[in-house]
Structure formats: C-alpha cells, structure tokens
Amino acid sequence: MNIERREVARAVVLGLEGRLTAAVAPQLRSEVADLVAAGRTTVAVDMAKVDFIDSSGLGALIGALKATRVAGGDLRIAAAGEQVRQVLRLTNLDRVLQIYPDAESAFDGD
C-alpha cells in the first residue's frame, strides 16, 4: 500500500493505492495520527486506486474519522470504487463515512 500526501484547498489528501487490509491498516492510522498531531484535522482519503478493503481497513477508516473529529476536524472518503462502496453499504458505514466524487470536492461548501 502506498500512501501519498497532498494538499487541496484547506484539506490534506491521503491518496491510497492497493489493498487496504490488516497488513497496512496501521500505516493509515499512523499517517492520520501524525496529521492530527500536527494540527491538520481536515482529511480526505482518496480511494480511487484502492481495489480491495477488508474489516481491518474499515476499522482504520473509522479510527481515523474518530481521531479527526475528536480534534475538531473531519475525514471524508473520495473516489471510492465499486468494491469499496459495496463494503461500506453492506456494513452501513456509508452513513458515517461520506463519499465524494473526488478529493477536491470533499470539503467544498464547508
């Protein structure tokens, strides 16, 4: 799993690539923890290049969401593919993790 950091508007975008599984979920948690510690609490997770997510990946996203919200920010999902969308729907997490078409629009209007 590669995680690429970039800035858009007032958010930090974490671009993920590959499979978000138990093997790499700690890496995502660590990235978000570093951002929150640095005061960067508005995060978009670009999942355009994620082809698979499992329960550990979901747990990492929920943990990241909680970390950003506790710090006064938010975390949003961008460009999720069909497999990711289906897993979010099946677990009802699509109600908690908002999905946006792309990272640039994730925080438009906020």
Spatial contact of 35 and 43, defined as CB atoms under 8 Å apart: yes
- Count Cβ atoms below 10 Å from residue 30 Cβ, excluding itself: 12
What is the model's pLDDT at position 80?
96
Burial state string for 42-54 with b = 16 or more CB within 10 A and e = fewer than 16: bbbbbbeebeebe
What is the model's pLDDT at position 109?
66
What is the model's pLDDT at position 6?
95
For residue 19, give the DSSP letter: E
What is the model's pLDDT at position 2?
84
What is the model's pLDDT at position 110?
63
What is the model's pLDDT at position 46?
97
Instruction: List the one residue out of 83, 14, 88, 84 whose CA is nearest residue 44.
Output: 14
Run of H or E residues at 45: strand 42-53
What is the model's pLDDT at position 9?
80
pLDDT in tens, the chain (110 residues): 789 999 988 899 999 999 999 999 999 999 999 999 999 999 999 999 999 999 999 999 999 999 999 999 999 999 999 999 999 999 999 999 989 999 988 888 66
Domain spans of the chain, in order of start: 2-98
Fold of domain 2-98: Transcription Regulator spoIIAA (3.30.750)
